[in-house]
Structure formats: C-alpha cells, structure tokens
Amino acid sequence: MIDRKDITNPDEKIVRVSTTIDKKTETFYMIWDRNLNYWRSNSPLGEYDAWTRDIARRATFETLKRAKRELSYIAQWRSETP
C-alpha cells in the first residue's frame, strides 16, 4: 500500500511569469504540476482546492525564494500528513 508520505512529485515545477503592460515588466512565480496540469492555489494544502486549473485562483509568489519555500512546505506537508 502506498502511503501519502511516500509520495513525492518531481513534476511540480516553478514557473517564471513575466508580463509587460505599458512598457512596465512584472515578474512573478507560480507552481505547476506538469503531469496533472494543475497549479498551486491560494488555499491551504489540506483543502480540496489546494490545486486548481482556474487562472484566477492560482497562487503567485513575488520571488523565486518564496516559490521554493512553498515547494518545501508541500514536501513537508506530504511527509507529515497520514
């Protein structure tokens, strides 16, 4: 039997997004599950909607450091959740 704590997902990637409006460029980061085509949402990890395909609900991270921290939280959550 596979336990949730044994699940790791190498398909979760940090994606850099840059948009330019009126010659002003904004850059932020998002977390994407490449295999399932879901994005990390703003909901807590334990919620049913922690991952989403809804563009408006995708979590954005201002820096790469924050996105990496979120990935580490995801891994920690998986290891602690039965």
Mean pLDDT of 41-58: 93
8 A C-beta contact, residue 56 and residue 41: no
pLDDT at res. 23? 93
8 A C-beta contact, residue 30 and residue 17: yes
- Give residue-wise pLDDT tens across range 3-26: 444 455 678 899 999 999 999 999
pLDDT at res. 3? 47
> Which structural domain, as residue segments, surrounds residue 64?
4-80
pLDDT at res. 6? 44
* Count of Cβ atoms closer than 10 Å to residue 3 Cβ: 9
In angstroms, the CA 82 to CA 78 distance is 8
Per the structure, the count of domains in the chain is 1
